[in-house]
Amino acid sequence: MASGFFALLDDIATLMDDVAAMSKITAKKTAGILGDDLAVNAEKASGFMSDREIPVLWAISKGSMINKIIILPIAFLLSYLLPSAIIVALVLGGLYLAYEGAEKIYEIFVPHHDAAHETLHSDMSEADILALEKVRVKAAIVTDFILSVEIVIIALGSVADEPLNIQIPVVSLIALIATVGVYGIVAMIVRMDEFGLKLINLNEQDNSFSDYVGRFLVGALPWVIKSLSVIGTIALLLVAGGIFVHNIHFFHDLLPQLPDIVKEFLVGLGVGLVVLAGVKLVMKVISLFKKK
């Protein structure tokens, strides 16, 4: 009986080692999309009233966790019943990532006014602020759902050849990191300016060390948000390109002389621009039919 108990412990330890090893590999493969998730959510969570930033982040985090609870069982069931569908879903997710990355670059060169994006104003009533806050939280949760699907599919694709007892804990761990880790970092970023102000008001001395650090943190916040947006866009195209290069033979054999990272970026950008052009064309045709 004792030997059976220790054999069980040994099996559990072996399983945990396998899960830890696969989680490390999967985390590397999802790092790009997690970086984009961080950039997108940092942008979505900024711009609220100072005393509402943490409640808003908490509301988005709860929505993100519910998203994962919905997505994970469906993904595991799909992986068990129809494993080949994971590759199809992975490529479709890659098309979306490539499109999103190409669209962000397109908007830099062809800027447009987003009428749907409404900002907070000091003359707004409390009811208006809360209503706008609710709309923006809902939009952030919808965006998180799309990113969560991509993260889970990419994570599941990296352990597709493993048994379910490895797939479930590995992908669940990555999903948990995608919520707790990402939103924890987002919380620190959006509160960076508040921490800077506290350092500035820490003492009554002018130009003290805390004043310099505080002013740096306050001034750095907009640059951090912008930098994350750029890094996130590059990460989107790299992840998308990696999906195409590793799952489609045509792209795998294309430009073998280039370093992998350059090839993946160019493939992601190229596919993204094609998809973007297709979407723009379809939208233009639809608008022409509506005018008739």
* 205-253 tens-digit pLDDT: 777 777 888 888 888 877 887 787 787 788 778 888 888 888 888 888 8
Q: Kindly indicate the confidence band of residue 29, based on its pLDDT and cuts at 50, 70 and 90.
A: low
Mean pLDDT, range 156-172, rounded to an integer: 78
Distances from the Cα of 31 to the Cα of 35, 85, 108, 154, angstroms: 6, 23, 24, 10
* Other beta carbons less than 10 A from residue 226's beta carbon: 12
What is the CB-side half-sphere exposure of residue 58 using CA atoms within 13 A?
Answer: 5
- Vertex 216 angle, CA 215 and 217, to 5°: 90
Q: Name the residue among 104, 120, 41, 45 with its Cα closest to residue 236.
A: 104
What are the phi and psi torsion angles at 206 (to 5°)? -90, 140
Structure tokens, 280:
């723009």
Average pLDDT score, the chain? 76
Q: Kindly indicate the confidence band of residue 6, based on its pLDDT and cuts at 50, 70 and 90.
A: very low
* 99-158 tens-digit pLDDT: 988 988 888 887 655 544 455 555 666 677 677 778 878 877 877 787 788 788 878 777
The helix/strand/coil state of 256 is: coil
The pTM of this model reads 0.69
What is the predicted pLDDT for the residue at 273? 93
Provide the percentage of residues in the chain whose pLDDT is more than 90.
5
CA-CA distance, 23 to 167, in Å (whole number)?
9
Mean pLDDT, range 35-45, rounded to an integer: 65
Q: Which residue has tokens 């008739």? A: 292
What is the predicted pLDDT for the residue at 49? 65
What is the predicted pLDDT for the residue at 41? 65
Residue 271 has pLDDT above 90, yes or no: yes
- DSSP class of residue 173 equals H
CA-CA distance, 237 to 102, in Å (whole number)?
8
- SS3 of the chain: helix, strand, coil, percent, to 5: 85, 0, 15
CA-CA distance, 208 to 253, in Å (whole number)?
59
Distance of CA 201 to the CA centre of its chain: 35
CA-CA distance, 55 to 185, in Å (whole number)?
15
Helix axes 260-291, 209-247, angle to 10 degrees: 80
Count helices and strands in the chain by DSSP H and E runs: 10, 0
Q: Kindly indicate the confidence band of residue 182, based on its pLDDT and cuts at 50, 70 and 90.
A: confident
What is the predicted pLDDT for the residue at 269? 93
Q: Which residue has the higher pLDDT, 80 or 41?
A: 80
What is the predicted pLDDT for the residue at 12? 43
